[in-house]
Structure 1
Amino acid sequence: MNKKRLFGYLFVLVSVGNISAQESRLSAQEYKLWYDRPAQVWTEALPLGNGRLGAMVYGTPATEQIQLNEETIWAGRPNNNANPNALEYIPRIRDLVFAGKYLEAQTLATEKVMAKTNSGMPYQSFGDLRIAFPGHTRYTNYYRELSLDSARTLVRYEVDGVQYRRETITSFTDQVIMVRLTANRPGRITFNAQLTSPHQDVVVTSEEGNCVTLSGVSSLHEGLKGKVEFQGRLTARNTGGQMACADGVLSVEGADEAIVYVSIATNFNNYQDITGNPAERAKDYLVRAMTHSFTEARKNHTDFYRRYLTRVSLDLGDNRYEHVTTDKRVENFKQTNDAHLVATYFQFGRYLLICSSQPGGQPANLQGIWNDKLFPSWDSKYTCNINLEMNYWPSEVTNLSELNEPLFRLIREVSETGKETARIMYGANGWVLHHNTDI
C-alpha cells in the first residue's frame, strides 16, 4: 500500500471517528429549563402544549396549579367586522403617509378604515387544574424541570423522608393532559383534585365513574354574546388506595401511584360553524386516552414530538453550567457567555412552535397557546403587524415547515371570507370570522 492511499484511509477513519464522537456527545447533552423552587407567578410556570391544548405547570408541592388552555376558546362568537368603507380610503391614507402627514393619516384611518362593530374577540383561558396534597408544605430538596428533549415537566421534592415525583405531559397522540404522581414508598399518594375557571356561571358536576366535569361558555365582549361552549373532564387511575368523587372534587387516598387525566373540548368546528358537542368530544378524548398505560402514552407522545425536534441540532460546546439553575444562568450570561444556554434557547424556540401550531389545528396566536386571562393584553389574537409573523420565524429555517399549515389555512379562510364580505353584510346567514379581525 502506498503512502498516499494509507493517508487516505487514515483520514477517513479519523473523520468517521470525529463524526461518531460528535453525534455521541450531542445525543448525551440535555436541553432543559430547571429551577430549585416552584413558580410564584404565571410567567414562571413551565409551558406544555400539543397544538390544541396548552398547560402552564407551577410545580407547587402543597397545591399544584396547572393553568389550562384549549385553542378554540375565544370570547363572543364568529362574526365579520370588516368596514365597507376601508378600500375607498386606503389610497388616500397612503398618500398622507408618504406626504409625512401622519396625524391626518391616523385620523382618517380611525374614522374610515377601523371596524365600526368590534375590534375582534380575545383568546380566553379555560381555567386550572388544582391538586392539593395534605402536609406537603414541609418539603425539601426541591427540583422542577421542563425537558426540551421529551416535552414533559418533572417536579421532585421530599416530605418527611418520602421522595415524591410529578410528571406531566400534554399528549400529542392522546390529546389529553396527564399527570403521573409517584413516591418511593407505597401508599403515600393522597390528594384532592378539582377544575376551576375564571369564567362566569360555569357548571361543575360529579359523574359516575369518578369523573368531574366543568362546563361553560365564552364571555360577552364588545356587544357579542359568548357562544363558544366548552367542557373539561377530570378523572384518575390509581394503583392501590381508594378513589372517590363528590361535589366536584376527585379524591385519592393511600395510593402507590396515580395518573390524573384532563380532557377539554369545545363546540367549534370552523369559523362558520360552532355546532359541535363539547361534552361528547371531551368524553371521547378521555375514554380513548385511558386505553393506554402511562408508559405507552408517554412513549407515543415523546416519539411524536421528537420527529420534529431531532431534525435540527445546534452544538455550541459543552454544558459548563449544568449545575446552575436556568434563571441564574440567564442572570449571569453577561459574565459567562454561556454558549450551551444559547443552544438551549434555540431549541426552546423550536419547542414552543411545535407545541402551539400543529397541522390540522389553529395557528399560534399572540401568546402561542398559553394565556391565563379572560381579557389578555392585545386580546392575545392574531395581530399581523409583526406578532403573528414572529411566531413562525423558526419554521422554515429550523426545518419545521409543515407547522406553517394552520397559518396558511387561516390566511386562505380569511381571503375567502373577504370575497363574501359584501354578501354577508347585506343579510346572508352564517357567521364567518371568529376572532382574527386584525388580519
Structure 2
Amino acid sequence: MSIRKTFAFLFLVLLAVPAWAQRGQEKVRRAPRLDFPEQAPSLAAAKARWSRNLAHANPSSLPFQRGSSRPAILLTGYWPPSNEAVRKFSPDPVQNPGGWQGSNWEGRGYDLYAYFPEFNPPDCSFCGRGSGDLEVDYQDTSLDFWPIADTLRPIAVITLSRGFLDNSWEVEMNQYNRLVWYDDYLPPFQPTPAPPDSDEAAGFLRNSSLPVQDIVDAVNQANLGVNAAVCWTGDGGGFLSEFIAYHGVWYRDPLSAPPDPNWCIAAGHIHVGGRLDWPTAEAALEVSVRTVTDYLDLVIAATVCQPDLGYGGPGSAQLAVCGDPLATGGSAEMLVWDGVPLGPGFLVGGFQFSPTAWNGGLVVPVPIHQQRTFVFDDEGRWAGPTVPGGLGLFSYYIQAVYPDASQSLGYGFSNAVQLNSLP
C-alpha cells in the first residue's frame, strides 16, 4: 500500500461516523488513577516533549498563543496559614492593603490572583466558617468559586488549605466526587447536590495535573524548614479541603485540550501545615508557583497549532487542532467551539485546497474525501478525534459545517485547518 493510500485510510478512520454520533460529546475528560507515580506530570517529561517537538518543527505550524492578555493563575486559601500564604496576590484592597503583587509576577508572564476568607482572630486555631470569599462552607464555596474561575479563565489553578498541625507541605494527588462529606458549620451541612459533580458517579476520581514531585523537590531544596511530600495514594480528607480541591481539578479537566481558547493546563491542591509561620508558608507558595510556571512554559513551548486558513463564516464556530507536530510519536487534539448548542455538524476533509461556494459559505476541502457526523454539546462545543502523527509527508484540509437556522441560507461554516502530517 502506498504512503498516500495509507494516509487516506487512516483519515477514513479519523472521520468515520461513530456509533454514538447522535448522542453528543461528553463534556469531561476522564482522569484515570495513576498506578505509577512516574505517570504524573513533571518538568522532565515536559522538557523531553519540548525537545522532541523542537526537532520536528514545521515552518507552517504556528506556536501556541492564548489571546493578547497575560494568562492568569488562580490561587485560593482557607484556614491560616493557607490564606496568609496567598494574601499578597489578592486584588482586593481591603484584604491586601499593600497592593496587588500578582501582575506579571517576577516577570514570568503570568498574573496571579488569590481569593480566600478572613478569620477572627487571624491566627485562629479553631477557625470555623470565616467570612468573605470562599467561606468554609460547601454552598458558599461553590457559589464563589465558579464565577471567579469563569471570570479569570486561569491557565492553572492551585487551591490551598490547612493540613496537619506540623510543618508539612502536602501536595495532593487524588480528589473524589464524594456522596457523603464531613458536615460543615451551617445547614444544610452537606454539599447540594451530593455528589457535587452531577455529571459523574459518586466516588469518581480526578487527579492533580500539577507537577507534584517537582513542587515537592523544589520546596525541600529551598531549605525553608518545610517537610514537603506528595500524597500519592490518599485523598483530601472529605471536608472543605477536598471539596475545593475537587472544584479546581473539575474546572480544569474539560478545558485540558490545547485548542481550547480557555486552555487550563494544570490544577491541584496543597495542604499547608498548620505550624508553619506565615512568612514560611508564603515562601513555600512562591517556590511552588515558580515550579508551576516553569512547567507551564515548557508545555506551552512544546505546543503548536496546525495552520488556520480562515474561510470561516457565516456563523461563529471555530476549529483548531493543537498539540504536537504531526510527526511519529506525536498527536494533536481537535476542538470545534461556538457552534449551535446540541445541534448536528459535519467534519469534512480532503486532500485538495479548493474553496467552493455552497449555501452562503465556502467549503475548503473540495472534493470532499470524507465526512464525519457529530453533535455539539450544550455549550456548542465538540471535541473531535485525536489526530495522529507520523503518517507521511502530506497535507490534509478539514472544516466544520453545520445547520444554523440563524443564517440566511441555513448553514454555518468554521474556519478551515491544514493538517501537515510528517514522517
The verdict on a shared fold, with TM-score over 0.5 as the criterion, is: no
The TM-score, its normalising length taken from structure 1, stands at 0.25
Structure whose CA Rg is larger: 1
Higher relative helix content:
1
The TM-score, its normalising length taken from structure 2, stands at 0.26
